[in-house]
Amino acid sequence: MEWQKLHTVFHHELLDQVYALARQDPRILQNETIRMIKNEKTQTSMDQKYAVDFGVYQHWTAESPDWMRLLTNLYWRMYRQATAWALFCHLLHQDMASLSCLTPSMNLLQVSAHTENVTRLLYCFPFVRMLFEHPFALNIPCQNAYFYADIDWLATVISRHGAKIPDLIAEIEASKIIGNIDQDKYFQCTSSLFPKMKIHKRERDNEDRDSGWDTDDTNEIFGFWLPHGLSKQQNLRQLELQNLIKRANDAMLSYNDTVWNSTAVLMVSLGSLKTAGAPAVELLSGESLLPDVDGGRREYEDHVWNCWN
């Protein structure tokens, strides 16, 4: 799972047809999909407190919510976070991150200066910088503000664990998840922010209870699921992680199935439907951290659209 694959997921000509089809025939969206979106709403603050959710709020308050556009926005947010989680798992297995980093809750609405510097280091990766521009570059529906809570989450777990920067960058590049760093920007960033080439460990970074924000507010961002504030007890923590991962998978699979079903209808109408299986999204996994939640879980291919393109 890689952030850059998001460019292959949003085929706007196709999605425009899917949106139109969903308006003509609401049955394209299964009842459980709509219930899933509504459930995300129950975990979201819709009082227009957060600029990142203004576009979503406008759709919620419409007389007839455009469920397909809301689902697309949710998928975009969930997929981005899924990749941040995958990179965290890679760092974890290389002893460059720790589950203890997920125990203190996080305030991602007003990050510390220390975390902000780590975020700037991550922005030296072109694909991370691209994420910052995604809402407008990809014309994400219901999104009229930047979304970077996932990047700040990743920066926070790195800040809480600490790292020697050359080792950290080498491992991130080895993961092949966000590509290679821009060497010029890397030199400029480390020269000004990290002259000792080290991220000092701050175990409770971004747990700022005096900032005027409640750390629980992070969880009220629409579709935000990345773990923090987890239990210190291993059994409870695993259950919490399982529930979060299942929530993300349910949303991404719902989008995938809905778009595939809509595409099938469109292709039949054009007389050009290929008899391939539905495109699949990669399941999230904590690898050795978590047992197989579903038991005999379906195996998914590494791509999304190639089976019918």
Q: Which helix (H) or strand (E) holds 32?
A: helix 31-42
Give the pLDDT score at 82: 87
Query: Residue 94 to residues 87, 90, 97, 165, 171: CA-CA distances in angstroms?
Result: 11, 6, 8, 14, 8
Partnered with residue 163 across adjacent β-strands are 199
Report the share of the chain in percent with pLDDT over 70.
68
The residues, ordered by sequence, that sit 6+ positions from 309 with a Cβ below 8 Å of its Cβ are none
The contacts of residue 164 (CB under 8 Å, 6+ apart) are 197, 198, 199
**What pLDDT score does 290 carry?**
36
- On the CB side of 55, how many CA atoms lie within 13 Å of its CA? 18
Percent pLDDT > 90 in the chain is 29
For residue 199, list its beta bridge partners.
163
* Of 24 and 100, more confident: 100
* Count of CB atoms situated within 10 Å of the CB of 257: 18
Average pLDDT over residues 33-48: 79
- The C-alpha atoms of residue 73 and residue 145 are separated, in whole angstroms, by 12
The pLDDT value recorded for residue 190 is: 96
pLDDT at 171: 95
pLDDT band at 207 (very low <50, low <70, confident <90, very high): confident
Element holding 162 (H helix, E strand): none
pLDDT band, residue 129 (cuts 50/70/90): confident
Q: Are 92 and 175 in contact (CB under 8 A)?
A: no
Give 59-110 pLDDT, tens digit per residue. Answer: 888 888 888 889 889 988 988 898 899 899 899 989 999 999 999 999 888 8
User: Hey, where are the domains in the chain?
Assistant: 3-289
Task: Compute the 3-state secondary structure of the chain and give helix, strand, coil in percent, each to the nearest 5.
Answer: 60, 0, 40
Is pLDDT at 152 greater than 80 in this prediction? yes
The mean pLDDT of 168-188, rounded to a whole number, is: 94
131 compared with 264, residue with greater pLDDT: 131
Q: Is it the case that residue 308 has pLDDT exceeding 50?
A: no
